[in-house]
Chain A
Amino acid sequence: MSKVTELTCIRCPIGCAITVTQDDEGKVTEIVGNSCQNGYLYAENEVTNPTRIVTSTVRVDGGVLPVVSVKTNGDIPKARMFDCMKEINRVHVRAPVSIGDVVLKDVLGLGVDIVATKNVGVMKDGRVYSRTGSGDDQLPRDSV
């Protein structure tokens, strides 16, 4: 029994409809519908080992924001996205946080880290009005 998968290529805006056929062992036997080599590789990868970047947030203690955005710093198997989310959801970090800080090493043993993608400063007083603040006031500022 061969397995047939229909895909939309996302390598460029054309969005070719690609059909991939695999044999019983999962080996790709035919790829049709792609219009370039990139599409061929995308389709092959999508059926044999699809991967994704996961972006989410983790909780921050004592920061100007309650959460900080994070990402996997490399692709993880698509099928592990929700497992990865479970791990991410358990993490909490203490402010300050800087872009690139590793908040979780080698998630699920996949060889990929969860890293912060935003700077979150320390909450300085309880009455911060807008909580979008990064807490970073290094901006040059002239008073009027």
Chain B
Amino acid sequence: MVDVLIIGAGVTGSAIARELARTERSVLVLERELDVCEGTSKANSGIVHAGHDAKPGSMKARMNVMGSRMMPALSRELDFPFENNTSLVIGMSAEDRETLEELLEQGRKNGVADLSIISGQEARRLEPNLSENVTCALRCGTGGIVDPFLLNIALAENANVNGVRFEFGRAVTDIKRERGGFVVKCADGSLYEAKFVVNAAGVYADKFHNMVSAHKLHITPRRGEYLLMDRKTQGFVRATIFQCPTKMGKGVLVTPTCHGNLLIGPTAEDIDDKEATATTAKGLAEVLAKAGLSAEHIPARQVITSFCGLRAHEDGGDFILGECADCPGFFDAAGIESPGLTSAPAIGVYMAELIQEKDRRPEKKNFTAKRKGIPCMATASPEERRRLVAENPLYANVVCRCELVTEGEILDAIHRPLGAKTLDGIKRRVRAGMGRCQAGFCTPKQMDILARELGTDIGAIVKSGPEARILEGYTKEDDPVGEIAFGMKNRTDTEAQ
């Protein structure tokens, strides 16, 4: 029996796990995929929202502002990329101007600092590529961007280092209240007993909640499609550019990523299928068209990949955080859509406090709050490069040439706590294959390294899930092997050299 069982190793589940790890209790995280950060956490805008969008008094507002305030210090503590790049919500009409005034007021009520409304001219001075049609903008000095993978991975790694157990490939199929606790059953037949359950299951949070509660939740997957562009586009915009929310929706954003790419999206389409992460021709066209309203000359030719994420939209429209009213011991962190990534650290603190109130435990004396990330040769100075290479020559052996990722970094990604077991796992940790050739050149090299380090054959290497095999057998496997046909068989290897 563990004290707390968390369903889901996304950013929310991982943040809660890390906060719980500060106190003396056993924590187990069950994840249906083979790695952390495999659901909504991996496919979003990577934005640290300032907090002017949510209604004052809502959970979203509270968690957003708190999360946004925590992010700079947390990024230093856990060593993940975060940049306070500011944000602009742009307006193109008198009506928009009114909306921006409302957002400004709402932001102030929510406690967001450094908000101001600026003219279109001033906005274009800050961002020369902004559309000529921009007449005003809400500038927000605390807006930021974060690497969503590394935020999630850092939280999970640090939780793990501090004693939280993670089990992968465990798709929860049933939850029962028994003897003052819970019995959780997985698709692979494994059974777990826990005193408390935390439901951080993203788009599936309603399913698990509804297993134990009569007060039903309903989560709609809201599809969002994105286009990502080559790092050559670095500097196209420096701030995150939001469109003014209208009756027609929230619009798409144009933002740099922490790694210098340009990201545009998302669309917003309510669908039924919680697995439908396919992009659509319509969606991708819409992203390009809408982004073109914000900025002139979106460099569409520089697109290197497109992707699609599902936001977990609960009918009530707010985060559902807390103990289930009719099922004591079952805690929801449900309906975590935007600004969920920003809010995750705050949700972690909030949820851990709720559990602490319910079952007070002493603080862990040896809790290690600090994490050191994997060195990054791509961004290191020549001096740092020389030092790293002197420390480990494999930091000089480049595997992914587009993003300049070395064998040393990939080995780190594999051998760290909760290390990478898949190609996507390596990609999210060290960016190998994330660049302009999209892993065309480095896939075989990464497979060799991964197979060697995991003690397996390259034929067993997967992209993400267990069925996502890269290879399907040998070229000659169906044919019987004949005699050694080659006349040099009598030569020994030594002679041959």
Contacts and interface: CB of A to CB of B under 8 A. Distances in A.
Interface of A: 57-59, 61-62, 67, 86, 89-97, 101-104, 122, 127, 129-131
A34 B243 CA distance: 62
A127 B449 CA distance: 10
B452 A101 contact: no
Interface string B457-497: 00000000000000000011011111011111101010011
A94 B481 CA distance: 13
B96 interface: no
A95 B484 CA distance: 11
Interface of B: 397, 407, 445, 448-449, 452, 475-476, 478-482, 484-489, 491, 493, 496-497
A91 B449 CA distance: 29
A134 B493 CA distance: 15
A90 B479 contact: yes
A114 to B, nearest CB: 9
A59 B449 contact: no
Contacts of B407: 129
A61 B496 CA distance: 14
B448 A94 contact: no
Nearest to B445: A130
Nearest to B397: A129
Query: Which among B397, B449, B482, B486 has the highest number of chain A CB atoms within 10 Å?
Result: B486
8 contacts: A92-B481, A92-B486, A96-B488, A97-B488, A122-B496, A129-B407, A129-B448, A129-B449
B397 A59 contact: no
A130 B448 contact: yes
A111 B475 CA distance: 26
A97 B488 CA distance: 8
B486 A89 contact: no
B487 to A, nearest CB: 8
B484 A61 contact: yes
Nearest to A95: B496
Contacts of B491: 94
A109 to B, nearest CB: 16
A104 B125 CA distance: 72
Given A62-B493, A129-B449, A104 B485 contact: yes
Nearest to B481: A92
A4 B163 CA distance: 78
A93 B489 CA distance: 8
B486 A122 contact: no
Given A62-B493, A89-B479, A127 B485 contact: no
A33 to B, nearest CB: 38
Contact of B486 (A67, A86, A94, A130): A94
Nearest to A57: B475
Query: Which among B397, B448, B485 has the highest number of chain A CB atoms within 10 Å?
Result: B485
Contacts of B482: 90-92
B397 A94 contact: no
A95 B478 CA distance: 22
In the A-B complex, the 10 residue pairs with the smallest Cβ-Cβ separation, listed nearest first, are A93-B486, A89-B479, A90-B482, A91-B485, A89-B476, A96-B496, A94-B489, A122-B493, A122-B496, A104-B485
A62 B484 CA distance: 12
A97 B448 CA distance: 23
A59 B481 contact: yes
Contacts of A91: 482, 485-486
Contacts of B488: 93-94, 96-97, 101
A93 B484 contact: yes
A62 B240 CA distance: 55
A92 B493 contact: no
B496 A103 contact: no
A89 B474 CA distance: 11
B452 A90 contact: no
Contacts of B484: 61, 92-94
Nearest to A91: B485
B494 to A, nearest CB: 9
A92 B493 CA distance: 16
Nearest to B497: A122
Contacts of A96: 488, 496
A128 B316 CA distance: 57
Contacts of B493: 62, 95, 122
A67 B474 CA distance: 11
A90 B475 contact: no
B486 A97 contact: yes
Contacts of A62: 493
